Amino acid sequence: MSKRSSRRKRKAKARKVIALTGPVLIRQGKQALEQGNYSKAIDCWEKALMKPNPSSKLTASIAEAYFRRGINDGLGNTEDLKVALKLVPNDRIYRYHLALVYHRENKLKEAEKIYRELLAEMPSFKRAALPLSQLITQKRKSIRKDPVWKLLSIKEQERFVAVSSLKNKRQVHALIYAPDGEADLLWRGLASFHQDKLSVARKSFERVLKAPDSYNRAKEIARYYLGVIHAQTNKPDEALTYWQTAYKNGIDTKHLQHNVGVFFYQQALIEYQAKHYKKALELLDNSLTFRSEDSIQTDLFNQIHWQLGYEATNRNNWSVAMKHWQKILDTGYKDRYIMMNMAITQEKLEDHLQAAEHWREVLRRRPRSANHPDALDDKQVSRLWQHVAENYQKADDVTEAIKTYRNALKWSPDNVDLQINLADLLQTEGRWQAAENELNRILEANPDSVPALTRQAESCESDHRYKKADKEGKQFMWYGNHHEAFKIHLEGAEELHDNARMQTLAGMSAADINDLDTAEEFFSRAFKIDPTNLSNLHIAWWTWLEHNRGNELQILLGYVKAIYPPPPVYFLFDLIKLCHKFKHEDLAEEVLDFIENVYPNNPEALVEIARELYAKQKTEQAKKYLNRVLEQDSTYAKANFILGVIYNANGNKFMARRHWRVAERRARKDKAYDYISEMKTLKDILTHGAPKHPIFGEIFGSLEGVTSMEDMVGRIPPELLKLMLGGIEDGY
């Protein structure tokens, strides 16, 4: 929501409030009070108080609302009670409850002052006598010497005598064996418990539960202590029953919660030691219900998930193991062992990118001191970096693979195998000079290295012939001399019979001169050498689409489907765009179905599928795919932007702008500045229409009479064309 929109809404709301009259606000406040919405009642009545001629009862009503909110706020809110007292200073109920809250907060001095003031008033506020007596007992002072003693009932005096007796062994003994009627059963039980006479205490507490005249609070206290007695006599199930009943009936003291939490923890520990890990986890969860998490519970939680994770790995159930490792990570436990488990599990699940990241984390967290028992030597560090690189390579992240191979070489600079692997990877990426530099480093240290010499020879020979044939062939193709281009590519293909790229270029040139059988022969050779090269597949796909060869296209689609892991999303959609270009819509549908099968949850794939559907005016289907992406990631930039385009086309400008804002924020967060520029351009076109470009004609002059690219290129002087074509690379 924009700031301007928010400001308008606030002003409208303010005007609406101003329009309400005093009686209406009073009535709304009363309704809110009856519903227990004290904050709204306060708000309405305070606004009513600002109206002309307010009711004289409003102040008292506001005070009552503050009071009710104060006593209903958990253990009590002193600030609200103070406001109530400020509004109605002499209200004894408000003062009494403020004293109770102070008492509960252990502010005994403030509480005692208010209790005594209430008792000293005429008439005396006798409700304050009992809590004041409790406060005096808390302060370990003699209650019999205090004036409040006379205000207590005989029953209350007996209870306070019993409390005092618990401090004196002789008096405790007298309390235990006092005749019925001279001591409260509950206090007798407490005295017995205090003297470790558990059987006597148990009988007293059981009598409290059976006695018809026992007050409810006494029964629940008796249940709590019966639970303690059963726990001390190794009867945990009975103890838990008493405690849970007491808790259910309102005894929620810290001691009870602590005891129940400890009980569940101990039971969880017993089950863990018995290797009943799932039961142990269930009991530990119960413990956390009653007791806040501490390091001991967290340690047991992690140990249980360790064991459950190992059990899952033994069953080869790696996805379940991953969930247990993740639970451990969520507690903040991130040492190298859990990172190692994560990495191994992700390798098993073929999530090589995440595996590489976690192996890197293992390396970051390794001990740096050589004296540490788990210290790694240079060779081990190098081997781990190599493993990281191999995982990146399997994840097709060649850039990171090259970086991490270089890291591996820092720890083992003389490792020829590592250098060879790096050189091979660089050659695969077409970084010939970097590969040659790596091979030269090997040969400087070991001039007789056969693997390095072999690769250097192959690289020099094939690279020279390939570049010569490729460059000359492309120049003739640009001139429009396809026969000469085919001649050059044919020579290159015969010399480099095991070079898939050269066979592909020969096939393309053969097709350009309409020798389709020869083209098919060269393409077949290329894909026997390497059926996974995406660039070669792209050239063949374009060629056969241009010549409308359906059978050959189906063979190529078979090669594409056989590649594992599947080709990148952008490559597959490029094939679809070519199908549209050459009006092969059925083939485009086949590729689209393949994408959905191999990338069912890939956001990029789903967005591109939605784009395809929208282009075919299947708007609702497109929205379904976009919403699937947003269910996974609500801020995914491309999905939000395209959804905005759809809403804009349907006339819903508000929703369009909303999704565009989300898309732009996410793109900025991801630093996708090219996409931000693309979005802004398209938004301008959608909003204001396509721009005109008068400068275009000034730069290139008139194109009248130019019927083809070959015609345009043919007008360029050869020496200028040579300069222009000199930079064309393999990607052509």
Distance CA 98, CA 295 (A): 37
pLDDT of 76 strictly over 70: no
Average pLDDT, the chain: 78
- How many Cβ atoms are within 10 Å of 44's Cβ, its own excluded? 26
**Domain-by-domain residue ranges, the chain?**
20-158, 163-252
Please, which residues have CB within 8 angstroms of residue 667's CB and are 6 or more apart in sequence? Answer: 637, 673, 675, 676, 679
pLDDT of residue 700: 36
Would you place residue 456 in the very low, low, confident or very high pLDDT band (cuts 50, 70, 90)? Answer: low
Q: Any idea which of 31-40, 125-134, 430-439, 701-710 has the lowest mean pLDDT?
A: 701-710
Closest CA to 638 of 602, 603, 686: 603
Closest CA to 133 of 113, 156, 114: 156
Q: Any idea which of 21-25, 176-180, 296-300 has the lowest mean pLDDT?
A: 176-180
Per-residue pLDDT tens over the stretch 212-232:
665 667 788 888 888 888 888
pLDDT of 171 strictly over 60: no
- How many Cβ atoms are within 10 Å of 22's Cβ, its own excluded? 18
Alpha carbon 717 to chain centroid, angstroms? 60
In terms of pLDDT, which residue wins out, 698 or 451? 451
Please tell me what DSSP assigns to residue 565: S
Q: Strands, E, within 468-625: which ranges?
A: none
Local structure of 728: helix, strand or coil: coil
Would you place residue 556 in the very low, low, confident or very high pLDDT band (cuts 50, 70, 90)? Answer: very high
pLDDT of residue 447: 74
Distance CA 148, CA 126 (A): 9
Q: Any idea which of 496-500, 513-517, 696-700, 703-707 has the lowest mean pLDDT?
A: 696-700
- Answer whether 480's CB lies under 8 Å from 714's CB: yes
Q: What is the dihedral of CA 23, 24, 28, 31, to 10 degrees?
A: 60
pLDDT of residue 174: 41
pLDDT of residue 520: 92
Would you place residue 615 in the very low, low, confident or very high pLDDT band (cuts 50, 70, 90)? Answer: confident
Residue type, 611: R
pLDDT of 152 strictly over 50: yes
Average pLDDT of the segment spanning 509-518: 87
pLDDT of 720 strictly over 60: no
Q: Vertex 46, ends 41 and 48: CA angle to 5°?
A: 95
Average pLDDT of the segment spanning 366-385: 86
Please tell me what DSSP assigns to residue 148: G
Distance CA 218, CA 209 (A): 8
**Cα distances (angstroms) measured from residue 621 to each of 73, 447, 651:** 51, 64, 18
pLDDT of 460 strictly over 70: no
Distance CA 367, CA 703 (A): 69
Per-residue pLDDT tens over the stretch 306-338:
888 888 888 888 989 899 888 888 888 878 888
pLDDT of 469 strictly over 50: no
Q: What are phi and psi of 183, to 5 degrees?
A: -145, 140
Q: Vertex 679, ends 581 and 604: CA angle to 5°?
A: 60
As assigned by CATH, the class of the 163-252 domain is mainly alpha
Q: Any idea which of 75-84, 578-587, 663-672 has the lowest mean pLDDT?
A: 75-84
Average pLDDT of the segment spanning 49-75: 82
Distance CA 658, CA 678 (A): 18
Q: What is the dihedral of CA 128, 129, 131, 134, to 10 degrees?
A: 160
Distance CA 426, CA 439 (A): 11
Alpha carbon 61 to chain centroid, angstroms? 48
Asked, colleague to colleague, whether 20-158 and 163-252 share their fold, the answer is yes
Distance CA 222, CA 229 (A): 10
Closest CA to 288 of 298, 278, 279: 298
Local structure of 657: helix, strand or coil: helix
Residue with tokens 């130019």: 706
pLDDT of residue 524: 92
**Cα distances (angstroms) measured from residue 157 to each of 118, 134, 154, 199, 448:** 20, 11, 5, 27, 105
Q: Any idea which of 466-475, 588-597, 687-696 has the lowest mean pLDDT?
A: 466-475
Q: Vertex 709, ends 703 and 713: CA angle to 5°?
A: 85
Q: Give the up-direction half-sphere exposure of residue 7: CA atoms within 13 A in the CB hemisphere.
A: 3
- Answer whether 259's CB lies under 8 Å from 230's CB: no
pLDDT of residue 182: 38
Q: Any idea which of 91-95, 362-366, 458-462, 509-513 has the lowest mean pLDDT?
A: 458-462
Please tell me what DSSP assigns to residue 180: B
pLDDT of 558 strictly over 90: yes
Average pLDDT of the segment spanning 575-587: 90
Would you place residue 296 in the very low, low, confident or very high pLDDT band (cuts 50, 70, 90)? Answer: confident
Tokens for 247, please give them: 């808790």
Average pLDDT of the segment spanning 582-588: 90
pLDDT of 554 strictly over 90: yes
Distance CA 339, CA 361 (A): 7
Would you place residue 732 in the very low, low, confident or very high pLDDT band (cuts 50, 70, 90)? Answer: very low
Share of the chain above pLDDT 70, in %: 79
Q: Give the up-direction half-sphere exposure of residue 203: CA atoms within 13 A in the CB hemisphere.
A: 6
CATH H superfamily, domain 20-158: Tetratricopeptide repeat domain (1.25.40.10)
Per-residue pLDDT tens over the stretch 87-111:
888 889 889 888 888 888 888 899 8
pLDDT of 476 strictly over 50: no
Average pLDDT of the segment spanning 227-245: 82
pLDDT of residue 467: 47
Local structure of 514: helix, strand or coil: coil
**Cα distances (angstroms) measured from residue 182 to each of 196, 261, 291:** 22, 37, 39
Tokens for 698, please give them: 């000034």
Q: What are phi and psi of 55, to 5 degrees?
A: -65, 145
Would you place residue 559 in the very low, low, confident or very high pLDDT band (cuts 50, 70, 90)? Answer: very high
pLDDT of residue 697: 36
Alpha carbon 676 to chain centroid, angstroms? 25
Average pLDDT of the segment spanning 261-266: 80
Distance CA 388, CA 363 (A): 10
